[in-house]
Structure 1
Amino acid sequence: MAATVPAVARAMSIFEVFAREQRELSNSEIARFIGVADSSCADLLHTLYQAGYVTRTARSKRFYPTGRLLAAAQAIAENDPLLQVSREAIDLLSEKTGETALCGRLEHGFVRIIGIQEGKYALRYVMKIGEKMALHGSGLGKALLAQVDPEEAARQLRLKSLKKLTPASITDPALVERAVQEVRERGWAETRSEGIQGVGALAVGGHVGGEPVAISLTGPQERIDENREHYLRTLLDVQASVFDPRDATARPAPLKTRRRNTARAAPAT
């Protein structure tokens, strides 16, 4: 059976202290913050100093992290399996449909965009990596909420106020929860002008390494309607190929294409 190594936990807590304080600290200050004796803290700091993870001022003998930890973290992030999966998924989606494909993760009451591949059409949806989307007004949001249990979905929906983004926006958390339950049952999510007037989206969710993630096709509502069956089939095929199989949502029954008169999205810039 594996054992917990207290020294490792204490070393990591030192970096957490620096992240919080954002200043040079003495050995005694760090020892007090992490709750250990000065001598034990000195050993930890000496080890980190010898390994190049902290530096020490010559006169005051105070410590501060070097850039080595940041460099290691950035290298790890560049090979994050979640980012690799999102890149593969949205590339496949956009290649097969020509629409803008998005990938998002759940973050404290909203969707964080972690991947985007713009579509080939002159009239297309555009965003930037790192931007946020409302949970209640996006296909990604509903698909993500369907990947967590109902209690967590309800909690996430109450972390932020549900704003009336368009006349079609649903702002009652209970009604959004009901819509999310429908997503769980049928296996895919949809929005129709709920986040931006004239823009529609189809989305599916899954898990990567235990974390919920969702992918969507987003564009002018009229074009989404015209290609509904093809887009859904493509989304579900990509879902099955890139997400953890044990967490993938169920495939829906075949749908008939629906056509509606809707406003078109603004041209991409």
Structure 2
Amino acid sequence: MNTTVPGTENHRVKTALRVIEIIEIFSREQKPLALSELARELNAPASSCLALVRTLLSLGYLYETSRRQGYYPTGRLLAMAQRITKADPILERLYPSLRELCAITGETVVLGKLTSLNTVLYLDVLPSENPIHYVAVAGEQKQIHANSLGKALFSALDEPAQQALLDKMTFTKRNDRTLVTRQQFLSNIQAGKEKGLFTNLGESMVDVGALAWPVTVSGGHFAISIAGPLYRIEANLQNHAQKLRVMCTFIEQH
């Protein structure tokens, strides 16, 4: 006998999304928030928000700073995230190489992979220690056509997979440098193969540049990029590209 209540699965999905939204709100606001503020940010009834907050309180993910100041996340979330990341089989293997690449180039290094939603997912971001640097966080998703990682990952696919992906891609214009047609994109990919680097020179953000190269790890396609202010990336393009290719080769061989 099927005892599933209609809509229960959708309700669970919506509740899970609300929890993630609450975490992202605190990440963005970086201060304690009252129940009314959380409800407003979630665009949800206070009663629904209260139920979520009570659950997170009972599980130790939130605590009440005071009745006037509201709620704030505890260190439990960070501790769990650190344990999860530490056990990631790909990041554990690649982190020393990513860290070294960040140190020798002086720029932010990003590891990415294509998703089933036809986007580029940032798996890890190692920020540059330079005061002026490219800022991103793990978990961000980017459009393929205006991203150096996206181009590198596209280049690693076989022709049928490339054609299937092209049929699903949207070439959104971000600025005058963005590639906005299939032919422009394919020409750029071919040029990247010939030059030994895939670039994003102001195509998504006019003052940011990046270069990337694909790498195969445990049979999976990944890519690594070096990103920073456009003027620094352009000035060191070939030097960074050589270091990046050497590092990717080292990863694949070891």
Could you tell me the TM-score, scaled by structure 1's length? 0.59
Where structure 2 has 5 or more consecutive residues not aligned to the other structure, the ranges are: 1-7, 12-81
The code of the aligned residue for 2:129 comes to K
1:137, 1:194 within 8 Å by CA — same for their partners in 2?
A: yes
Answer yes or no: is 1:167 the counterpart of 2:179.
no
The code of the aligned residue for 2:115 comes to E
Could you tell me the TM-score, scaled by structure 2's length? 0.63
Among residues 187, 196, 217, which one is paired with 1:187 in the alignment?
Answer: 196
Residue aligning to 2:91: 83
Among residues 243, 259, 264, which one is paired with 2:252 in the alignment?
Answer: 243
- Cα distance in 1 between the residues matched to 2:252 and 2:10: 38
1:134, 1:195 within 8 Å by CA — same for their partners in 2?
A: no
Distance apart, 1:233 and its partner CA = 1.8
Residue aligning to 1:176: 185
Distance 1:85 1:143, change over 3 A: farther
Instruction: Select the structure that is richer in helix.
Output: 2
- Cα distance in 2 between the residues matched to 1:81 and 1:185: 32
1:188, 1:205 within 8 Å by CA — same for their partners in 2?
A: no
Among residues 103, 106, 110, which one is paired with 1:98 in the alignment?
Answer: 106
Residue aligning to 1:157: 166
The code of the aligned residue for 2:208 comes to V
The code of the aligned residue for 1:97 comes to T
2:196, 2:241 within 8 Å by CA — same for their partners in 1?
A: no
The code of the aligned residue for 1:208 comes to V
Percent identity (aligned) = 27
Question: Whose radius of gyration is greater, 1 or 2?
Answer: 1
1:22-60: per-residue Cα shift (whole Å, max 9, x none)? 89xxxxxxxxxxxxxxxxxxxxxxxxxxxxxxxxxxxxx
Distance 1:79 1:187, change over 3 A: farther
Residue aligning to 1:220: 229
1:129-183: per-residue Cα shift (whole Å, max 9, x none)? 0101111111111011111112212322332422101210002123212322333
The code of the aligned residue for 1:91 comes to R
1:191, 1:202 within 8 Å by CA — same for their partners in 2?
A: yes
- 1:99-178 matched pairs, under 5 angstroms: 99-108=107-116, 109-178=118-187
* More moved, 133-142 vs 169-178: 169-178
- Cα distance in 2 between the residues matched to 1:76 and 1:118: 20
Among residues 218, 229, 238, which one is paired with 2:238 in the alignment?
Answer: 229
Q: Give SS of 2:111's match.
A: strand
The code of the aligned residue for 2:150 comes to G
- Cα distance in 1 between the residues matched to 2:97 and 2:119: 21
1:44-103: per-residue Cα shift (whole Å, max 9, x none)? xxxxxxxxxxxxxxxxxxxxxxxxxxxxxx988743332224423321211111100101
- Cα distance in 2 between the residues matched to 1:177 and 1:85: 32
- Cα distance in 2 between the residues matched to 1:126 and 1:229: 22
Where structure 1 has 5 or more consecutive residues not aligned to the other structure, the ranges are: 1-19, 24-73, 246-269
Distance 1:194 1:229, change over 3 A: same
Residue aligning to 2:76: none
Instruction: Point out which structure has higher relative CO (alpha carbons under 8 A, 6+ apart).
Output: 1
The code of the aligned residue for 2:219 comes to G
